[in-house]
């Protein structure tokens, strides 16, 4: 019989690429990982790894084993979910990856609802960028992810993940208040001479923002880069920049920014994804339901108009 824990190490190597990365992810030493993989080769009776410079690659036989490990882990996850469903109380742990604005706008009310209705469920939240979090949920680092998708920029799909729409929010041009703006701006085209703050290159929001500006006829002057949307807000409110900001960011707060609608009124899509194998878990199902109730209530998406003078 092949040892399942060693097979899991082989799968982790296929996902993470190096023995060092596997060791770091699982809190093992690299030598311990190498030793266990050597034992697995002896159990299999054939080579599973081959040298490729300073790294190792999986052999075709190892790739066959990895595919089988996925099936075994899915079976075990389904069995665990069914066992939990057979209990009289909803309990267990839900590990959630979430991006910043959803963490601020959706998670507080959802966590309160879970604590009230299902006190035996432990919800653990980690902030992650959506594309990274989707892959990590597929890799079983998380049970569920709250992710985002910008217009004309589809989030990656991973096999075995069930996606469900959560909400959408408009994306608008955020400008400094009229009294501190460098010059009056009434449209996106008129913001061509303003300094911009955007997320770093590679982010879906950055791609969306640059393409929208270019389709309007100008290249944005991106002077400030940060993944922190709260920093975007402070730079706009202080009169140092303009930005394209989704409405969910304004949840629970007022702002001095002027918010202008964009051509065609684009919207960002927010969705959840979890492994199909874990869909029967009562704890995960309860959390997903509570999250959807929070999003559909509309209470988290505040009216982002400036306060009265």
Can you spell out the DSSP letters for 87-124?
SSS--EEEEEEE-HHHHHHTHHHHHHHHHHH-TTEEEE
Confidence of residue 308 (pLDDT cuts 50, 70, 90): very low
Q: What is the pLDDT of residue 307?
A: 41
Residue range 131-147: average pLDDT?
95
Residue pLDDT, tens place only, 12-54: 999 998 999 999 988 899 999 999 999 999 998 999 999 887 7
Residue with tokens 């469920």: 121
What is the value of pTM for the model shown? 0.84
Q: Give the β-pairing of 267-275 and 161-175.
A: antiparallel
- Tens digits of per-residue pLDDT, 50-68? 988 778 889 999 999 998 9
What the block records as the tokens of 226 is 């940060």
Least confident of 6-20, 52-66, 101-115, 294-308: 294-308
Q: Can you give the pLDDT at residue 235?
A: 95
The answer to whether the CB of 113 falls within 8 A of the CB of 138 is no
Q: What is the mean pLDDT of the chain?
A: 90
Looking at per-residue pLDDT, the higher value among 10 and 152 belongs to 10
pLDDT of residue 181: 47
Which among 102, 214, 200 is positioned nearest to 149, based on CA atoms? 102
Task: List the one residue out of 259, 265, 245, 239 whose CA is nearest residue 186.
Answer: 259
């Amino acid at each position: 019989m092949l040892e399942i824990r060693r097979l899991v190490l082989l799968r982790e190597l296929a996902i993470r690429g190096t023995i060092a990365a596997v060791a770091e992810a699982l809190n093992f030493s690299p030598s311990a990982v190498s030793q266990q993989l050597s034992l697995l080769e002896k159990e299999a009776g054939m080579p599973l790894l081959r040298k490729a410079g300073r790294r190792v690659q999986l052999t075709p036989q190892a790739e066959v084993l990895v595919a089988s490990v996925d099936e075994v882990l899915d079976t075990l996850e389904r069995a665990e979910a069914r066992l939990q469903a057979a209990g009289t109380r909803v309990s267990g742990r839900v590990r959630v990856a979430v991006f910043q604005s959803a963490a601020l706008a959706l998670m507080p009310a959802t966590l309160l609802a879970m604590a009230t209705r299902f006190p035996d469920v432990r919800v653990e939240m980690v902030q992650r960028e959506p594309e990274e979090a989707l892959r990590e949920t597929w890799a079983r680092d998380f049970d569920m992810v709250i992710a985002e998708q910008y217009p004309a920029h589809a989030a990656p799909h991973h096999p075995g993940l069930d996606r469900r729409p959560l909400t959408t929010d408009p994306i608008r041009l955020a400008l400094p208040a009229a009294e501190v703006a460098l010059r009056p701006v009434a449209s996106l085209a008129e913001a061509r001479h303003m300094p911009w703050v955007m997320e770093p290159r590679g982010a879906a929001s950055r791609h969306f923002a640059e393409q929208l500006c270019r389709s309007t006829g100008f290249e944005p002057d991106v002077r400030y880069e940060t993944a922190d949307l709260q920093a975007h807000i402070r730079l706009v409110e202080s009169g140092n920049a303009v930005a394209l900001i989704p409405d969910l960011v304004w949840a629970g707060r007022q702002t001095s920014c002027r918010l202008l609608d964009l051509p065609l009124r684009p919207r960002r899509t927010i969705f959840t994804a979890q492994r199909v194998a874990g869909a029967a878990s009562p704890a995960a199902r309860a959390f997903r339901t509570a999250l959807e109730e929070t999003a559909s209530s509309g209470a988290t998406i505040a009216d982002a108009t400036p306060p009265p003078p």
